[in-house]
Each structure stands twice: as structure tokens, then as C-alpha cells.
Amino acid sequence: MTFAETDVRGRRVLVRADLNVPLDGETITDDGRIRASVPTIKALAEQGAKVVVCAHLGRPKGEPNQKYSLKPVAARLGELLGREVAFSGKVVDEELVDGLKDGDVALLENLRFEPGEESKDDAARRAFAQKLAGLADLYVGDGFGAVHRKHASVYDVPELLPHVMGGLVAAEVEVLKRLTEDPERPYVVILGGAKVSDKLGVIANLLTKVDRLLIGGGMAYTFLKAQGYEVGQSLLQEDQLDQVRGFLSEAIKRGVELVLPVDVLAATHFAEDAPYEVVAATEIPADRQGLDIGPKTRELFATKLADARTVFWNGPMGVFEFEEYSGGTRAVAEALIRSQAFTVVGGGDSAAAVRRLGLPEDGFSHISTGGGASLEYLEGKTLPGLEALQ
């Protein structure tokens, strides 16, 4: 059941949202997650609920830290909703909630200011969950970016209150089922980002499901090294080489086309203004480091995406934060926009890159709000937050 099928008028509704946005001081540099949370919050308020939103931001490690306050988020959420969002700076605020009228919206302070939120101790976590549950009559789970965490607000509170799935989480689950249960083929996955170790489980699982796997970003250099090539000063995880050799063998065995970069931008050092030369991916000079895929690889990846019917993309192709090294990530994103496939951007840095590069978000079938949650779902793991809601 979702909140849309529930009578919420006059009820105190606790919404677990994902408002974990990047901040520069008090300035929000990417409000994508706030905008994604608005439809559920707005619908509940318009239906006459007293809406109490809770969320986390950053890693304050169980104690108050103004650097991670949700105060700027409350202001931006209010702008997007077109109504005031009450905010007192307390994590559990009975007085604030008692003062709400039907249709009002309040935001609690950062959940992670309380050690019970992330505690590994079941009793400590449950004690904090009971305080949160005491604020409401109904729980709406809508923070997809946190559903892979066994945290009080995600896992324990829905056990204490009547609970339903929010619109955002319902949409994310529907997309992920489409990627895992019977994807239209050819099914192509593009993986990038810094570390192979972050994606071991998902690669192993995807090799049993996909037709084609394109590897870019920092993790590509461990694949190239595993094939015996020099990668210079490029990002490398030596301890993952045997694992990666296993992936290469498994891909051949299963008939999965595993595509690696054929050229890279090899920079003199890691800096925005570092000079570079385009070199073959198999011939990176010992004193250089690859910071982006090269022009031939961009064309190759675009070709490998052209006939796809389903595409999942997670992880940038290079250091997209540096203008000079953002071209590979842009090329992949633009290939997806041109594609006729069902295209899913898997949250995290990929979603941030789409917005940072000024690309049209409606050019993709779906942009996920949860990078880690999406990957764990594709890995076949049970997500505690979804388990609690279902």
C-alpha cells in the first residue's frame, strides 16, 4: 500500500525523506534530492495531514554539529513547496509537532545528531525509534537513498507505527524491478567511479544478467592492470587484481561483452589545470595518470549503447568535477539521452554529474536518488528499509 491509498486528513504523518544534499557552508550546491522528495510531502499536506519530515545529512557521528544542520534544507524545502516549513533545530520536538495544523509541514533536525539513529545496538536504536514514533500516527517511508541502512528511522520506526511506502520509494522499486526481473535486451550496464571494491558484489551479480558491461572511471585501471598493462600513476587497487581477473574470465564464460577504455587522457598530475596527452589505454606512461576516458573510447561506448533497450549507469567516466576531464562523463550521458532505451542513472555521482554538466534530467527515463541503495538492490541484497515497509 502507498500513502495515496491512505486517509491522512488530521493525522500526524512522519515522513522519512532523503534530504542528504551537498552543502558549501549553508549553500545547497545540488537540491536534486529535495526536489525528488517534494511530491510525496506536498501530496500529504494537500490531503490535510500534519506532516513531520525527518532526514539525515552527512556524517555527524551521533552528536550535534551545525555544519550538518538541516536548517538550509528547511528553507529550500519551503521554497519548493510554496509554504513555510517549521524548523526548531531539535531532533525530537513534541512541542513543534503539537503546534501543527492540518496541512502544515515541519522538518526535524538531522537524525544523525542522535547516536541511537545509527547504533548497532538494537536496544539503543529501538529506544530512539520509540521517541520518533511517539510524534506520529502513521509512517511514510520515502527516503530511498537510506533504505539499505538498518537505522532507527528507516528500519525500527515502521515496526512501531502503521506504515506505507512513499511515492518516491515506490517509483524507485518499480524501476529496479524492471532492471532485474525481465529487462528488455540488449541490456547494457555502464560502471565508473573510483573503486572496483565498491562494486564487487554488483559486478558479480550483473555478469549473470547483462549482455554488455562498459567499465570506465578510476576502476577501469585495475581492469587494465589485471590484463597486464602499465597504468602509470592512475588509480589502482592492487588487492583487487585477482578478483578482477575472475570477472574477466566469468564474462568470457557467460558471453558477456566486457568493454574497457581504448584510450585515456593521461595527465601529469591530479589537478584541474594539469596538462594531459591522449594515449592508448594499453600504453599509459609510467609518470602519468588517467583522469578521463579518451575520444576513441567515448565513440566506442556510444556505439555500444546505440542498440541497447535497457541501460543502467552508475559512476562517472573521469574526474567530472574538473572541466577539462568531464568530457567522457558528458559523452556517456549524451549517448543515453540519444538512446531509445529505458535509461536509468543510478544516483550518487552520476546523478550529480548530470546536473553539474547542465544536461536535461528529462532526457533519461529515471534518475535514482540512491546510489548505494540502487547498487545493493542490483547486487541482490535485502534492503532493511524496504523489508520493513513490505
Catalytic residue positions?
Answer: 33, 195, 348, 372
Alpha-carbon gap, residue 196 to 211, rounded angstroms: 20
The radius of gyration of the chain from alpha carbons, rounded to an integer in Å, stands at 22
Determine if residue 78 is labeled as part of a ligand binding site: no
Residue 265, marked binder? no
363 is in an annotated binding site: no
CA distance 153 to 156: 6
Q: How far apart are CA 266 and CA 294, in angstroms?
A: 9
User: In this structure, is the dihedral angle defined by the CA atoms of residues 356, 360, 362 and 365, taken in order, positive or negative?
Assistant: negative
Q: How many CB atoms are closer than 10 A to CB 277?
A: 12
Least Cα distance to 177 among 366, 307, 328 occurs for 366
149 carries a ligand binding annotation = yes
Task: Establish whether 19 is an annotated binding residue.
Answer: yes
361 is in an annotated binding site: no
> Does the annotation place 83 within a ligand binding site?
no
- 20 annotated to bind ligand: yes
> Is residue 18 part of an annotated ligand binding site?
yes
User: Is 362 marked as binding a ligand?
Assistant: no
Q: Is 57 annotated as a binding residue?
A: yes
Q: Is 56 known to sit in a ligand binding site?
A: yes
Residue 15: C-alpha distances to residues 32, 124, 144, 159, 198 (Å): 18, 21, 12, 14, 29
3-state SS class at 202: helix
- A 10 A CB-CB count for 75 gives 15
Three cell numbers at 376? 545493493
Angle at which helices 167-180 and 32-46 cross, to 10°: 120
Other CB atoms within 10 A of residue 278 CB: 13
CA distance 389 to 319: 37
State the DSSP H helix or E strand holding residue 289, giving kind and residue range, or none if neither: strand 289-293
Name the nearest CA neighbour of 186 among 269, 290, 309, 319: 309
288 annotated to a ligand binding site: no
Q: Is 356 among the annotated ligand-binding positions?
A: no
Is 33 marked within a binding site?
A: yes
Annotated binding-site residues for substrate read: 18-20, 33, 56-59, 112, 149
Annotated binding-site residues read: 18-20, 33, 56-59, 112, 149, 199, 290, 321, 347-350
Annotated binding-site residues for (2R)-3-phosphoglycerate read: 33, 112, 149
